[in-house]
């Protein structure tokens, strides 16, 4: 059974419909990337799954529960986390306080999980008492991911995790995503850096104008001529 199952979902902002009749799924432990041009509705799909936008039609299931219409606090308790593209940290809080906020709904095992996160992101341990506003872009992205991982989620939604980072750091972010996935966490990624993301992915969906146009295995999409020409930016 799929970890996340989205069926015929329509959603948008108020009167403005962005997503039309979207169906997609994420299997346990899988990495799935959403690619497509700007305005295709990739970020809107993540927000809809995470309950930040209410779907006007369709059904969503996570594990064996219906999550249609549930809000983020209910979803994080069920094992789903989300890293927004921008403003994904609390700048005036310290690194450690950011991680604590990630574990807000958790009542036990906080210290152990914090230790695991510091082992996973050693830089964060060194800077745990610094205000996140004073950190570099790459370090902030680690804080954002660490925060989302504090609840030990089974599905992590990542919106443009490498956007705005220096090329050297983009590689680091992709390495970390692969490592996170190796611990058994399924990832649903929206990424501009589509080629890199598809290499990491088991499967991908190509979206355009608020609809899913194509579904395929990661390397299949990577080598598809039409996808390459339209969405991966020409030759390799």
Partner 1 sequence: MNLRISSLTEFLVSDMGFVELVVYGVVLGSIIALGAIGLTLLYGVLRFAHFAHGDLMTLGAYVVFLLNLELLPTLGIPELKWGSLSFGGRMLGALIVSMGVTVLVALLIDRILYHPLRARKSSPAILAIASLGMAFILRSLIYIIWGPQFLFYSQELRPAWALPLGVRLKPDQVLILGLALLLVLLLYLFLQYTKLGKAMRATADNPQLALVCGIDTGRVTAWTWGLGAALAAAAGVLYGVDAQLRPDMGWSFLLPLFAAVILGGIGSPLGAFVGGMILGVVQQVSTAFLLPTYKPAVAFLVLILLLFVRPRGLFGGA
Nearer to partner 1, 141 or 201 (CB): 141
Considering beta carbons, is residue 13 or 175 the nearer one to partner 1? 13
User: Of the two residues 3 and 76, which places its CB atom closer to partner 1 in the complex?
Assistant: 76
Answer for the pair 124, 117: CB distance below 8 angstroms, yes or no.
yes
Q: For residues 174, 175, 181 and 183, what is the CA-based torsion angle, rounded to 10 degrees? A: -160
**Which CB atom, from 12 or from 36, has the smaller least distance to partner 1?**
12
Residues 220, 226, 227, 229, CA torsion sign: positive
- Rounded to a whole number of angstroms, the minimum distance from the CB of residue 170 to partner 1 is 23
Q: Within 10 Å of residue 144's Cβ, how many Cβ atoms?
A: 23
Quote the least distance from Cβ 208 to partner 1, whole Å.
27
Give the nearer residue to partner 1 in terms of CB position, either 50 or 118.
50
Residues in the chain: 236
Specify the DSSP class assigned to residue 132. G
**Smallest distance from the beta carbon of 202 to partner 1, in angstroms?**
25
Q: Are 45 and 203 in contact (CB under 8 A)?
A: no
The least CB distance from residue 192 to partner 1, in Å, is: 21
Minimum Å distance from CB 75 to partner 1? 8
**105 vs 166 by CB, closer to partner 1:** 105
Residue 30 corresponds to which tokens in the numbers above? Answer: 């899988």
Class of residue 226 by CB neighbours under 10 A (exposed 0-12, middle 13-18, buried 19+):
exposed
Which structure tokens are listed for 38?
Answer: 């700007």
Alpha-carbon gap, residue 83 to 195, rounded angstroms: 21
Binding residues (CB under 8 A) for partner 1: these are 50, 52, 71-73, 75-77, 82, 84, 87-93, 97, 100-102, 104-105, 131, 133-134, 147, 151
Give the nearest distance from C-beta 74 to partner 1 in angstroms: 8
First CA to last CA distance, the chain: 36
């Amino acid at each position: 059974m799929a970890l996340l199952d989205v069926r015929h979902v329509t959603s948008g902002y108020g009167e403005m419909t962005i997503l039309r009749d979207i169906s997609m799924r994420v299997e346990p432990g899988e990495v799935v990337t959403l690619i497509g041009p700007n305005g295709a509705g990739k970020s809107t799909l993540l927000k809809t799954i995470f309950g930040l936008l209410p779907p006007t039609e369709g059904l969503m299931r996570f594990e064996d529960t219906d999550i249609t219409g549930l809000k983020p606090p209910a979803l994080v308790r069920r094992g789903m986390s989300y890293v927004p593209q921008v403003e994904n940290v609390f700048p005036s809080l310290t690194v450690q306080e950011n991680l604590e906020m990630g574990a807000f709904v958790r009542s036990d095992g906080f210290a152990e999980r914090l230790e695991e996160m510091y082992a996973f992101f050693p830089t964060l341990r060194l800077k745990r008492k610094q205000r996140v506003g004073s950190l570099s872009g790459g370090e902030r992205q680690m804080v954002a991911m660490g925060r989302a991982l504090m609840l030990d989620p089974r599905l992590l939604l990542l919106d443009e995790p490498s956007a705005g980072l220096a090329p050297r750091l983009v590689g680091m972010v992709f390495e970390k995503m692969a490592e996170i996935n190796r611990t058994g966490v399924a990832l649903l990624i929206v990424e501009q850096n589509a080629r890199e993301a598809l290499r990491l992915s088991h499967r991908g969906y190509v979206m355009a104008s608020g609809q899913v146009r194509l579904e395929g295995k990661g390397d299949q999409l990577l080598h598809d001529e039409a996808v390459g020409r339209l969405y991966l930016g020409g030759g390799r």
